[in-house]
Structure 1
Amino acid sequence: MKLPLRGGCQCGAVRFEITENPMALYCCHCTTCQQQSSSAFGMSMLVPRDGFKFTKGEPASFAIPTDSKSKKQGHFCGECGTRIANDTVGKPALSLKAGTLDDRAQLKPVGHIWVKSAQDWMIFESDALIYEGPPDDGYFALMQRYADQEYAS
């Protein structure tokens, strides 16, 4: 993907820019992502924190309940409600909602997580990385597969 990447919310009140290469792109089938996206899954892009900035508007935020003791926030447009990213305090990357990118034509997820919560009708690509729950390797395989895919094209 050619940098910088740009995107924003549905109404245009909040905009962002990505200046460092994304680390991974995957679909999450957990019930939280299903509810948040009003869909069967959410598509997430791991983006280095240092390579992400809001360029217009200030997103609203709320604390996301987690099973772990981590502090996670959801950032969204206070005008139209579009979720833009999830951010866990202390992590080097944030989880961008990939559908908020202006150019979504080149998005090809490399894996699926939390498939034990996936809709029964889902069919997964034969070459995709599949995880029943969260990745047990700290997202390493997803990041490696994404890097391989990006540099191959």
Structure 2
Amino acid sequence: MAARSSRLAGLARSGQLRRRGPSAAVVVGHSGGQLRLGSGGAEGEEPMQGHCDCGALSYELRDTPLFVHCCHCRWCQRETGSAFALNAIIEADRFDVLSGTPEMIDTPSESGRGQRIARCPTCKVALWSTYSNPSFVFVRVGTLEDPDACPPDIHIFTESKQPWVLLPEGTPAMAQYYDLKHHWPPESLARREALKARLDRR
């Protein structure tokens, strides 16, 4: 844990993890592989947790995210009121609601299959969503207690990104979607296959 914390500090010092400065451009992401802190996937480490603004709805990730999307499609821009959506993907059976009951909102999507967005019933903040396969949860990275731990692993639908968003070198950027087998790390692909096997046995 200490080594990975040191790596985070090093990335910040080198400028690979960038915060918005006085310029008009924003660099999103980092260059150089996945960075995960605070996961429950290794012995002795605390699980990642997150919550809404009012604190009524909270959750926990019992393992590291499989992959982190930064989506620049117009649908995500409209849904968030921002330039992109940042989602950490994790298996639903490794995701727990710690407190509160989410208000599930059925929301249209560009694919036509829709998504279900989990919002706090009090402050209405969106914390996670599921798409056509509810076995995977898309956690809104900004609602994590330590969102710095989940920079994007890939940028998608960049053909519609805002022109003032600058993408960093070293992080894959796709005009539309991508092939998981070419971009997910082997351990994430193995977990995905293990989940499919568990579901097939039911």
Structure 1: runs of 5+ lacking an equivalent = 148-153
> Any residues of structure 2 matched to 1:66-145 within 5 Å, and which?
66-68=109-111, 70-135=113-178, 137=179, 139-144=180-185
Q: Secondary structure at the match of 1:109?
A: coil
Partner of 1:39: 82
Shift of 1:132: 1.0
Q: Secondary structure at the match of 2:148?
A: coil
How far, CA to CA, are the matches of 1:57 and 1:95 in structure 2? 18
Shift of 1:72: 2.1
How far, CA to CA, are the matches of 1:146 and 1:81 in structure 2? 34
**Count of residues paired in the alignment:** 145
Q: Which has the higher helix share?
A: 2
Among all aligned residue pairs of Structure 1 and Structure 2, give the percentage whose two residues are the same amino acid: 25
Q: Secondary structure at the match of 2:185?
A: helix
- Alpha-carbon contact 1:25-1:142 (below 8 Å) kept: no
Partner of 1:151: none
How far, CA to CA, are the matches of 1:143 and 1:22 in structure 2? 11
Q: Look up the equivalent residue of 1:143 and give its one-letter code.
A: W
- Alpha-carbon contact 1:24-1:142 (below 8 Å) kept: no
Q: 1:13 aligns with which of 40, 56, 60?
A: 56
TM-score by length of 1: 0.85
Task: Give CA deviations for 1:89-139 in whole Å, capped at 9, x if unaligned.
Answer: 43431111011101123222121011111001121111111111122x1x3
Shift of 1:17: 0.8
TM-score by length of 2: 0.65
Say which structure, 1 or 2, has more relative contact order (CA 8 Å, 6+ apart). Answer: 1
Structure 1 residue 60 corresponds to structure 2 residue 103: yes
Larger Rg over CA atoms: 2
RMSD (Å), alpha carbons: 2.0
- Alpha-carbon contact 1:110-1:145 (below 8 Å) kept: no
